[in-house]
Chains A and B, each alone.
Chain A
C-alpha cells in the first residue's frame, strides 16, 4: 500500500501508511525504491490476525491512532542526506581477491544467495555477451521494489555468478524480459506466501543445450536446469531487491528454495500427437519459448493407475485438484486470477491421448469435477488476512463467474478452478513410472508470462566453438 501512498503524495496530499510490525523492513525498501524514503509510517503493533477484538481495539486506540495523527500532522523527520558510494559503471572492478575472498565479500554485501558464486570477471561476462546481439547497456526494464535497472550487462553478470554457461544467455534474457513486464508483478515476489518463479522451457533448445526433461526433471543436478533456476532467484535478489529475511526485503514467511527449470519433453508430446506447451501459450511449434509463473505450493506425487483415462483424471482431480489446489483456490478467488500447472508423466499422458483426450479436455474435467464449499473458501481467505473478501460480492462485480453464486447457501459447492483455460499441462518427468504433480500458482502475482528465446544469427557456430 506504500505504492498507493506514493500516488497520494505525488498529488501534493500528505499520507500516512499503516504498516504492521513484521513488514517494516520491507516497507523501508519499497519506500526507498519509490523515491520517498521518508514517507510517514504508522506501525500497527503485532499481528492483527491473531489479536482478540478487545486487544485489536486497544492497540488501535492506544498505539496506532497517535502514530497516525503524528504521521499526518507533525513535521516528518527527514533522513539526513548520506554520501552514498558512487554507482559503479558496468566495467568497474568493485573487488579483487581470491575465490574465497570474493565469496566472502559478496555475502557481506548481500549480493549472493548463500552458496558460492562464480566470480563475475570481465572475461567471463564478455563470453556471455557473445551469445546475444543486444547492446550490453540496453535497459531491459526496471525491477521493483528496489527499482533498479535490469540490463543485458547485469543479466550476464548474475548468470556468471549463478554458474550458467555462456550459451544460456538467450534464455536468461528472455526470462528477464518476463520479470520486467508489469503483468508479472515481480514487486510482489517477496509477499508472505513465499512464492518462487518457475521457468518452463519448450522447444528444440531443450535438447540442444542438454536440459533434463525426464526422470528427476525438478531436481537440482543437471547444469542448465539448475543454474538458470538459480540465476532467476539471484537476479530477483540483486536487481529487484529481494534479499532474504529476516533482515532483507523478502517477506516470505517460511518461503521455499529456487526451482530448477521445467523442461518440456517434446518427444513425448510429438508421440502423443499433442501440441507443445509453446503452442498452448500462443507461439508456433518449434519456437524456443520460456514461460515464467509463480509457484506457491507443490502437490504430493500423484500416482494414478488404469488403462482408462477417466480413472486417471479422477485420481489427479482428487490429489492435485482437491487436496493441493483446494486450499489456495480461495486466494485465487480473491484476486479473480489463478493459473495452476500440472506436470503430467509421459505414461499418464499416453493413456489420455490414446482415448482421444486433449490437454484442454483434462482441464475441463478438473473444472467440472473439483469443488469446494463456498463457506470454506471464504474461511481460508479470511484466515490468510483477506478479511474484506466475499464470494457473492466478487460475482456481483463480475470478477468471478456466475457459477460461484448460484444460491445463497453458504455451503454450496463452487469450482476450485476458476476457468479451465487458465490451467496448464506440461508433459515431463519419469517415463518409466505413473506419476504426475501439481504446481499451485499465486494468483495475480506471477501470472504465467511467456517470451520467445531469441538466438544470435551465429548460434550454431558459437555453440560449435
Chain B
C-alpha cells in the first residue's frame, strides 16, 4: 500500500470501535458413536428444498443404521418462520418428550 503521509501531519491517538464479546465459549457435546437404534430429530427453516432432501436423508440413513428413527421437522415447525421465537423455545421440551439422541439442523446459516 502506498504511503500518503505528508511531513508535519498531526498524529491521532485513537480508541477501539468494537464492543466486548458477551458470550462464553464452550465445546460441543460428545457425539453419538453409532447411530443404530437412535432417535434423530430434524429441525428445519423450511428453506432450500428441505422437503425434497430430508426424505432422501431418512432413506439413506435407514439403510446404514438399523433401528434408526426420525422425529420429522413438522414436529418442531418452521424455526425460521413467523413464530420462530416461540417454536425455538419449545425445542428442549420436544427433544426430551421424543427422547431425541441427535439432531440434524438445516439449512443455511
Contacts and interface: CB of A to CB of B under 8 A. Distances in A.
B15 A93 contact: yes
Contact of A121 (B3, B15, B103, B107): B15
Contacts of A148: 18-22
B17 to A, nearest CB: 5
A23 interface: yes
A120 B40 CA distance: 51
Interface size class of A (residues with CB under 8 A): 35 or more
B104 A97 contact: no
For chain B, what secondary structure do more than half of its interface residues adopt (helix, strand, loop), or is it mixed?
Answer: loop
Given A7-B88, A143-B19, A389-B46, A23 B102 contact: no
A17 B102 CA distance: 11
B107 A44 contact: yes
A209 to B, nearest CB: 23
A125 interface: yes
Interface in B77-103: 78-85, 88, 91-92, 95-96, 100-103
B59 to A, nearest CB: 9
A154 B18 contact: yes
A98 B104 contact: no
A442 interface: no
A24 to B, nearest CB: 8
A129 interface: no
A119 interface: yes
A337 B83 CA distance: 11
A295 B26 CA distance: 36
Interface stretch (A74-82, A322-330, A343-351, A366-374): A74-82
Contact of A98 (B11, B53, B78, B83): B11
A4 interface: yes
Contacts of B49: 48-49, 56, 387
Interface of B: 1, 3-5, 9-35, 40-41, 43-53, 56-57, 60-61, 64, 78-85, 88, 91-92, 95-96, 100-109
16 contacts: A4-B91, A5-B105, A8-B103, A12-B29, A16-B103, A38-B27, A49-B49, A91-B15, A92-B16, A120-B14, A120-B17, A121-B13, A121-B14, A336-B81, A387-B50, A387-B52
Interface of A: 1-5, 7-20, 23-24, 26-27, 30, 32-40, 44, 48-49, 53, 56-57, 60-61, 64-65, 68-69, 71-76, 78, 87-88, 90-102, 104, 106, 111, 119-122, 125, 142-143, 146-151, 154, 157-158, 161, 182, 234, 238-239, 251, 334-337, 385-389, 399, 444
